[in-house]
Amino acid sequence: MSALFEPYTLRELTIPNRVWMPPMCQYSAEPEGAQAGVPRDWHVAHYAARATGGTGLIIMEATAVSPEGRISPYDLGIWNDTQVEAFRRITGFLAAHGTVPGIQLGHAGRKASTERPWMGGAPVGPEAHGWQPLAPSPLAHADGHPVPDELTVDQIREIVGQFADAARRALAAGFEVAEIHGAHGYLVNEFLSPHSNHRTDAYGGSYENRTRFALDVVDAVREVWPDDKPLFFRISATDWLDEGGWTGDDTVRFAAELHAHGIDLLDVSTGGNVSGARIEVGPGYQVPFAARVKAETPMPVAAVGLITDAGQAAKIVANGEADAVLLGRELLRNPSWARHAARELGADVGVPVPDQYGRAG
């Protein structure tokens, strides 16, 4: 048995293997009206294919806790009960086929209100279903992006409550894992990094103040998320700046604190908060950040970043660099990657083959 295909238990939830799907926005919901943020047939087909393909855990794409928390007007949301009912169709299918359904809860902050990537990804205004973004500080993400409104303390507290409400709805929608999106330059990440957080109140300045919002969100979600279900946190382990940004040292320190606040696994990515940052990209280039957290803290970790072949993924888990791997583009290219990898490694994928596909072997 390859370590990649050993079951993994967090709290009282057992995930059948260590091949997981990370959140990847599909930008395919209606932008406004009663169906805004509601999963559609595209989402059902997209996630169902990866479940029948043997993926152990599927974390639903970044799902906004409020309308203004969407990255684009076409993002999924979980701020109302209509959305909850639509998600149940997906979570029910995943669970019925042996895959654990997860969801990432997020707020886009200053990177909100943008066009879909294949339409250029530029900021959009009210004429294209857009809105005014919010952020810790009135600093634009990049040239051509609007200066966001600086959040008041009352607004910060309101957003913390929105994360908790979203977690309650996620539970009602049938999700077994919730992940807080603290990465890639979105709102939680914006608070963490001194590059994007220039506040002078209790939510800015010192490391303790800059991490306050994230810990408030974690505490609020953990309070409503059941004790028997795991809670993840996705982090950008570095801003990829020589100075003035969030660092790997910060991540190790914060991982231990997150663990003490009830986070069960750190989903370790990097970047996204600094436009134009220089990043040395190569196979497994983000794995060392996950490995360091695992080596220096009690926090379990998942690794991401150009993990593409079975041997590479198996080695990461077997060597103890991470407890699981999250494959993004590979699972877009090949929904059955897990089954093919298990066959290559002589392992049992742990997720039953649907009867309808049994003749494929």
pLDDT of residue 358: 87
Domain hosting residue 190, numbered range: 3-351
> Is residue 361 scored above 90 in pLDDT?
no
Rounded Cα–Cα distance for residues 72 and 302 (Å): 27
Q: Please indicate, yes or no, if residue 356 is contained in any of the structural domains.
A: no
Mean pLDDT of the chain: 97
pLDDT of residue 283: 95
Read off the pLDDT of residues 49-74 as tens digits, 9 standing for 90 and up. Answer: 999 999 999 999 999 999 999 999 99
Q: Can you tell me the mean pLDDT for 136-160?
A: 97
pLDDT grade, residue 311 (50/70/90)? very high
Segments of the chain assigned E as strands? 8-10, 13-15, 19-21, 57-64, 100-106, 134-135, 149-150, 177-182, 231-236, 265-269, 301-303, 324-326
Q: Can you tell me the mean pLDDT for 318-324?
A: 98
> Is residue 292 scored above 90 in pLDDT?
yes
Backbone dihedral angles phi then psi of residue 356, each to the nearest 5 degrees: -65, -20
Contact 351, 17 (CB under 8 A): yes
CATH number of the CATH domain containing 223: 3.20.20.70
Read off the pLDDT of residues 82-94 as tens digits, 9 standing for 90 and up. Answer: 999 999 999 999 9
Contact 293, 256 (CB under 8 A): no
List, by residue number, the catalytic residues: 186
Q: Please indicate, yes or no, if residue 25 is contained in any of the structural domains.
A: yes
Q: Please indicate, yes or no, if residue 357 is contained in any of the structural domains.
A: no
Read off the pLDDT of residues 249-259 as tens digits, 9 standing for 90 and up. Answer: 999 999 999 99
Q: How many domains does the chain have?
A: 1
- Single pTM value for the model: 0.97
